[in-house]
Structure 1
């Protein structure tokens, strides 16, 4: 039953992403050109909602779907590693015209070339997993 719930939430999320035009290459291009507030509003809303959720989870007021307590593990500090990661993420976003969230939404909407980006994302994640221990901290 949980799988059906997860599938339903995923489909609903995909519909919202597509209908809000968060998966639109034009909207992303417009954002990077500082031509419209549209995407900044969507991202800002997600940051606010996510921050509120994280605070509730840290206080133990939110549990997972299975009823388990959600544990927040503090991340390592390191300005430059996050700066470099953000630059790489942003370049990938700009090149693909989509952040990782709506990739499957775009594939589901019939944008077949996005499959190349999905495959490259999976291969990049796999490569990072292989090289993770060898990278500088």
Structure 2
């Protein structure tokens, strides 16, 4: 039953991404060229909703799916780490026109070429996992 819930949430997410035009390569291009506020508005809304969700989770003592305490550990702030990671992520986003959420939405819409991007992103993540202990953090 839990997987059905996840599937329905994923379908709803895909519908919202499509209707908001967040999966549109043209909208993403406009954002990177600073020609439109549209995508920045979507991202800003997501940040605000996420912040409210975290506030409520802490205030109301929400539990995880398996019933354990929900905890957020403070991040070790390292400018080079986040700078380099952000640049790599942004370049991939700009080149493909899709970040992880829209990639699967586009696949669900039948745009099969996005499968190459999904496979590449998965291989990049796997490669990072293999090399993680050898990289400076």
TM-score by length of 1: 0.94
Work out whether 1:134 is the aligned partner of 2:115.
no
Q: Which moved more, 1:20-29 or 1:56-65?
A: 56-65
Work out whether 1:25 is the aligned partner of 2:28.
no
Aligned to 1:53: 53
Post-superposition offset of 1:30: 0.8
Q: Give the Cα–Cα distance (whole angstroms) in 2 for the partners of residues 52 and 95 of structure 1.
A: 32
Q: Give the Cα–Cα distance (whole angstroms) in 2 for the partners of residues 6 and 67 of structure 1.
A: 17
CA-atom RMSD in angstroms? 1.3
Work out whether 1:63 is the aligned partner of 2:63.
yes
CA contact (8 A) 1:28 1:97 kept: yes
Structure 1 unmatched ranges of 5 or more = none
Aligned to 1:79: 79
Q: 1:71 to 1:60 in 2, by over 3 A?
A: farther
Give 1:97-116 correspondences, 5 Å limit: 97-116=97-116
Aligned to 1:90: 90
Post-superposition offset of 1:67: 3.7
Q: Give the Cα–Cα distance (whole angstroms) in 2 for the partners of residues 129 and 104 of structure 1.
A: 22
Q: Give the Cα–Cα distance (whole angstroms) in 2 for the partners of residues 119 and 6 of structure 1.
A: 22
CA contact (8 A) 1:58 1:72 kept: no
Q: Give the Cα–Cα distance (whole angstroms) in 2 for the partners of residues 107 and 127 of structure 1.
A: 23
Post-superposition offset of 1:10: 0.8
CA contact (8 A) 1:103 1:114 kept: yes
TM-score by length of 2: 0.94
SS of 1:102 mapped into structure 2: helix
Aligned residue pairs total 137
Structure 2 unmatched ranges of 5 or more = none
